Amino acid sequence: MEKNEEKIYVFGHKNPDTDSICSSLVEASFAKKNGCNAEAVRLGNVNKETKYVLDYLGIEEPRLLEEVEEGQSVILVDHNEFTQSVKGIENAKIEAVIDHHRIADIKTSTPLYYTAKPYGCTSTILYEENKNKIEIGKIEATLMASAIISDTLLLKSPTTTKYDEKALEELAKIAEINVEEYGLEMLKAGTNLDDFSVEELINLDAKKMEINGKTIVIAQVNTVSIEDSLKRKEQLEKAMEDEINNSKLDLFVLAITDILNSNSQLIALGKEREVVEKGFNKKIENNMIFAEGVVSRKKQILPAIDKNI
């Protein structure tokens, strides 16, 4: 980004995860060092895993942004789909996108910086793009390392690339963290879901997408015990059914992901749910499919649905 006096908001997707919050903070920090008037903001509540990171660093969470005015300058990190972005995004001025997801419906009226790489985490891209240009501080390094640990589940997700491994190794040195120890504590902090209502649970990390005219939501929660999480299965299903009716969804998939054993239990509801059976080549039983070795929405769950819907 070139020097710019105008206020620029930097944010990740709705229902923000650790990558969305940490990459926003880091990108805003880098942009400021380059003379831009950037502010990191968030499009939803900070989850417990991210809170662990912010508390560890003793820094404040970004301010909540509900909506943007026409012509507002923004930088999108960790997303590009308008259904996952801020209200008013269609008429905002998108200055830059730094992302590691499929490119879907983005449309801009002016030229922009667009950095897309199929890496495991947005922060890996941020690190790679800036490491030789900007001096990276301990806080920035910890934020980026945390985002990489989160998105790649400690480098175990199939989304992990050699670039993520290298970035995490280098960032851990600057951050002075033991990746395994810090990473496991951080991931575990995000699995304490007891005090969330089922409605909150199915929205914590939910992504809405339009595919072939169908509206689908894939939500994901991390756990250290699938069995424990299924204690509220009936209530979860009721909340998912309500969401299907209220938001006119064709499919709602909730992935309950075991971060220790790298498997997911999928709950699939909605009139298009046979696509999940096709995608995973398994019958739905009790509204569920057990997906062995599946931990990534982006690389495993979404493609399985996408090619069959």
Nearer to Mg ion, 17 or 81 (CB): 17
Number of residues that bind Mg ion (CB under 5 A): 6
CB of 302 to Mg ion, least distance (A): 11
How far apart are the C-alpha atoms of 88 and 126, rounded to whole Å?
26
Compare residues 19 and 250 and give the one whose CB is closer to Mg ion.
Answer: 19
Using CA atoms, how far apart are residues 269 and 286, in angstroms rounded to an integer?
10
Consecutive H or E run containing 275 = helix 274-280
- CA dist., res. 211 & res. 151, Å (int): 23
Query: Half-sphere exposure (CA, 13 Å, Cβ side) for 123?
Result: 33
- Which CB atom, from 17 or from 49, has the smaller least distance to Mg ion? 17
Query: Interacting stretch for Mg ion, rule CB under 5 A, among 10-18, 59-67, 129-137, 184-192?
Result: 10-18
Convert residues 113-142 into a mask of x (bound to Mg ion by CB under 5 A) and - (unbound).
---------x--------------------
User: Could you give the CA distance from residue 205 to residue 209 in angstroms, rounded to a whole number?
Assistant: 13
The residue (of 3 and 153) whose beta carbon lies closer to Mg ion is 153
CB-closest chain residue to Mg ion = 19
Name which of 125 and 136 has its Cβ closer to Mg ion. 125
81 contributes a contact to Mg ion by CB under 5 A: no
DSSP for residue 75: E
Cα–Cα distances in angstroms (integers) from residue 84 to residues 29, 56, 208, in the given order: 23, 28, 7
Among 140, 151, 237, 250, binds Mg ion (CB under 5 A): 151
Tokens 């499009």 locate to 43
Contact status: 78 vs Mg ion (CB under 5 A): yes
Separation of alpha carbons 258 and 264, rounded Å: 6
Applying CB under 5 A, among 10, 19, 143, 239 the residue interacting with Mg ion is 19
Q: Which is nearer to Mg ion, 126 or 141 (CB)?
A: 126
Q: Does 250 bind Mg ion (CB under 5 A)?
A: no
Residue 95 found at the interface with Mg ion (CB under 5 A): no
Label residues 210-237 b or e (16+ Cβ within 10 Å = b): ebeebbbbbbbbbbeebeebbebbeebb
* Smallest separation (angstroms) from Mg ion to the CB of 109: 26
Tokens found for residue 110: 């002016």
With respect to Mg ion, which residue has the nearer C-beta, 64 or 91? 64
CB of 274 to Mg ion, least distance (A): 26
Tokens of 12: 């990740």
Nearest to 240 by CA among 267, 210, 207, 273: 267
Q: Is residue 17 within the footprint of Mg ion (CB under 5 A)?
A: yes
- The contact set with Mg ion (CB under 5 A) reads 17, 19-20, 78, 122, 151
